[in-house]
């Protein structure tokens, strides 16, 4: 998920990166993977649950974290880098604050309350955004990379990020949450760009 409420868009990316030592360090140390864009089939395919926690998932998580921070974005789901498993990373501060990074396998929204309608974008649909309705508050259960379960709750941008990333794991994009007219407008533009090879 790309946080459109962030003060910094694409243009100030390099300046922004210099200002955050931790994010820059993480992003430069680990491989940044390319993010799949609208039209790539992993983005519309439901991802598989992670069942085998004996396998080392940390490498994939590290790549996802580096890719999210480098973008920059506030969340990333494994299918966005072409890996069809239910793993998400979220940091609504984009690395600006310690302790805000969330790495969650098999996230599940257990409960949601209220609603919020805000402008939303996605790293897989760069340059486009639209207003979507999301829960105002969510309670989520997921697993750490050692397989242990934990629960979290969040409101505002965090609730939106959870909803957005869980959608990715179910093969859905924020475009599916837009009004029909707005969605058609964006999809028509995207298809035209795909035909031109400009996507």
Does 169 engage in binding with Zn ion (CB under 5 A)? no
Q: What's the closest the beta carbon of residue 146 comes to Zn ion, in angstroms? A: 26
Alpha carbon distance 156, 72 (integer Å): 19
Closest residue by Cα to residue 70 from 17, 18, 19: 17
151: annotated active-site residue: no
Distance CA 173, CA 43 (A): 8
Q: With CB under 5 A as the contact rule, which of the stretches 5-13, 37-45, 119-127, 148-156 interacts with Zn ion?
A: 119-127
74 binds Zn ion (CB under 5 A): no
| 122 binds Zn ion, rule: CB under 5 A | yes
Cis bond before residue 72 (omega within 30° of 0): yes
Are 26 and 71 in contact by the 8 Å Cβ rule? The answer is no
Buried b / exposed e over 14-48, threshold 16 CB at 10 Å, is eebbeebeebbebbeebebbebbbbeeebbeeebe
Per CB under 5 A, 158 contacts Zn ion: no
Stretch that binds Zn ion, among 52-60, 115-123, 152-160, 190-198 (CB under 5 A): 115-123
> Of 48, 111, 151, 165, which one is the catalytic site residue?
165
Q: Dihedral sign for Cα 50, 35, 118, 100, please.
A: positive
Span of 106-114, 116-124, 144-152, 180-188 interacting with Zn ion by CB under 5 A = 116-124
Question: Any residues with CB less than 8 A from the CB of 111 and at least 6 apart, and which?
Answer: 138, 139
Size of interface with Zn ion, in residues (CB under 5 A): 2
In the bound state with Zn ion, the residue whose beta carbon lies nearer, of 19 and 80, is 80
What is the smallest separation between the CB atom of 160 and Zn ion, expressed in angstroms?
11
Q: Which residue is nearest to Zn ion (CB)?
A: 122
Q: CB nearer to Zn ion: give 1 or 157.
A: 1
Task: Give the footprint of Zn ion on this chain (CB under 5 A).
Answer: 1, 122
């Amino acid at each position: 998920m790309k946080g459109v409420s962030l003060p910094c868009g694409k243009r100030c990316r390099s300046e922004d990166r210099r200002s955050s030592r931790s994010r820059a360090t993480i992003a430069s140390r680990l491989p940044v993977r390319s993010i799949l864009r609208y039209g790539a089939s992993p983005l519309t395919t439901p991802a598989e649950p992670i069942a085998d926690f004996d396998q080392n998932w940390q490498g994939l998580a590290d790549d996802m974290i580096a890719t999210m921070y480098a973008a920059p974005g506030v969340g990333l789901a494994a299918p966005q880098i072409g890996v069809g498993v239910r793993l998400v990373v979220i940091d609504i501060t984009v690395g600006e604050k310690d302790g805000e990074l969330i790495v969650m396998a098999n996230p599940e929204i257990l409960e949601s309350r209220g609603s919020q309608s805000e402008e939303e974008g996605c790293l897989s649909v760069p340059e486009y955004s639209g207003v979507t309705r999301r829960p105002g508050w969510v309670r989520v259960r997921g697993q750490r990379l050692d397989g242990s379960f934990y629960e979290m709750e969040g409101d505002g941008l965090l609730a939106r990020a959870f909803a957005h990333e869980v959608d990715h794991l179910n093969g859905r994009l924020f475009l599916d949450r837009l009004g029909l007219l707005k969605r058609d407008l964006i999809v028509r533009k995207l298809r035209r760009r795909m035909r031109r090879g400009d996507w």
